[in-house]
Amino acid sequence: MGQIILNKAQLLEELDIVENTLRALIEQRGFPPPRKMGAKLFWLVDEVVAWLQGCPRAWGANVGPEPD
């Protein structure tokens, strides 16, 4: 196995968001939906990280050398 997982409480804490925001991210922004094993919901850290890496940067995305 070797995959790191987060439960909902851990994910919300790590991203510093509330459950309604998480639901909106899943429904409207393509955030990875939870996986289910029995009654437990969880997220694979690799999927969350990949989604976060695809988000645009808020600052400095177009920073480069000044034109001459």
Q: Tell me the per-residue pLDDT of 33-55, one tens digit each, with 9 for 90 and over.
A: 999 999 999 999 999 999 999 99
**44: in domain:** yes
**58: in domain:** no
Number of folded domains in the chain? 1
Residues 6 or more apart whose CB falls under 8 angstroms from that of 8 comprise: 19, 22, 34, 41, 42
- How far apart are the C-alpha atoms of 23 and 68, rounded to whole Å? 47
pTM: 0.78
User: Domain containing 28: what range?
Assistant: 5-53
Contact 6, 42 (CB under 8 A): yes
Contact 34, 41 (CB under 8 A): yes
- For residue 64, the model assigns a pLDDT of 55
